[in-house]
Structure 1
Amino acid sequence: MTEVINETTYDIDCHEFVLLADHVLTAMHVSTAVELNIVFIEPQPMEELHVRWLDLPGPTDVMSFPMDELQPGTPEKLTPAGTLGDICICPHVAEKQAAEAGHSIAEEMLMLATHGMLHLLGYDHAEEAEREEMFTLQRKLLLTFLATR
């Protein structure tokens, strides 16, 4: 079950993020019975999280907080139900990044949500090989989702 919470003044189509989560979890062979929260927050609370957990200044675009450390499943064996975790997205930062990238803020936030879900499933991008794997998968998942809209 995915819950999307908008604590900002931005107009966000929460249902679209539920559909994205269903798409990503299905593609990653994760039970859609897992609990996932996607929370849109203002810059100040995002900066507080960024400083507290990563000791980095300023707000960032997305942060993921895994709970049960679930991993992707296989077509034969889905990842069981559990608590995947929380994703916090800052639309204010996403808006700036979207303008720089030349696409909509909605597309940027969908990409950030996909990125966050992959982090919750154990993917990382600290090493170049990890980065290549994660960003290729992120691109594939987002493009296949957008193709269904």
Structure 2
Amino acid sequence: MSIEIANESGVDVDETSIVAAARFALDRMEVSPLAELSVSLVTLEVMEQLHVRWMDLPGATDVMAFPMDELETGRRPDSGEISPALLGDIVLCPEFARGQARTAGHSLLDELHLLTVHGVLHLLGYDHAEPEEEREMFGLQNRILGDFRAAMNAARRQDTQRGNDERLLGAAGLHERTDSESP
């Protein structure tokens, strides 16, 4: 799965983490590993221009999704090789998201993860224009985000434990060398 990210927003964010959130969502949605996705982080001004141009709505917004290829969902098992599919582009506005993060009581990165998953779902055809669609999309979004956060926390715990183990083993090895070198 190819995910390209370009940060032209002027806001310093953990781009690797945003890519991880996108990859996690795509994996959860069983999107082909040959899929290609682009994520762009832009300024308020650029987002406002996109919002006016493509949605005919004033002002900036937090996330926009621009789907490209139609996804092949009902493929037959005996069909030929799958070809790469350009899913589309997700455009995020960290400046706009910062205010939403503050209101929601979480970090900017948490908000960008949420918006990334939201954008992925839009690329996959989900919408929230009608109440039933909104329940389905937001429920799915919340499940994916919860699983992503749990996976990230487990990875952090594992990294911490690995670091602790390495320090203990390193200290034990140093202690053993010191003892064996003593007269």
TM-score (norm. length: structure 1): 0.92
Aligned residues: 147
Q: Structure 2: which amino acid aligns with 1:131?
A: E
- Cα gap change, 1:139 to 1:73, in 2 (>3 Å): farther
Is 1:51 the counterpart of 2:52 in the alignment?
A: yes
| CA-CA distance at 1:48 after TM superposition | 0.4
Greater radius of gyration (CA): 2
Distance in structure 2 (CA, Å) of the matches to 1:45 and 1:18: 21
Moved more, 4-13 or 115-124: 4-13
Residues 4 and 38 of structure 2 are in contact (CA less than 8 Å); yes or no, is this contact kept in structure 1? Answer: yes
- Give CA deviations for 1:29-62 in whole Å, capped at 9, x if unaligned: 1112211011000000100000001111110000
Q: 3-state DSSP class of the match of 1:125?
A: coil
- Which runs of at least 4 in structure 1 moved beyond 6 Å after TM superposition? none
Tell which has more relative contact order, 1 or 2 (C-alpha 8 A, sep 6+): 1
TM-score (norm. length: structure 2): 0.76
Is 1:110 the counterpart of 2:105 in the alignment?
A: no
Distance in structure 2 (CA, Å) of the matches to 1:71 and 1:108: 30
Q: Greater helix percent: which structure?
A: 2
Is 1:137 the counterpart of 2:140 in the alignment?
A: yes
Residues 117 and 141 of structure 2 are in contact (CA less than 8 Å); yes or no, is this contact kept in structure 1? Answer: yes
Is 1:35 the counterpart of 2:36 in the alignment?
A: yes
Q: 3-state DSSP class of the match of 2:135?
A: helix
Tell me the equivalent position of 1:127.
130
Residues 7 and 39 of structure 1 are in contact (CA less than 8 Å); yes or no, is this contact kept in structure 2? Answer: yes
In structure 2, runs of 5+ residues without a counterpart are 153-183
Tell me the equivalent position of 2:181.
none
Moved more, 129-138 or 30-39: 30-39
| CA-CA distance at 1:80 after TM superposition | 5.8
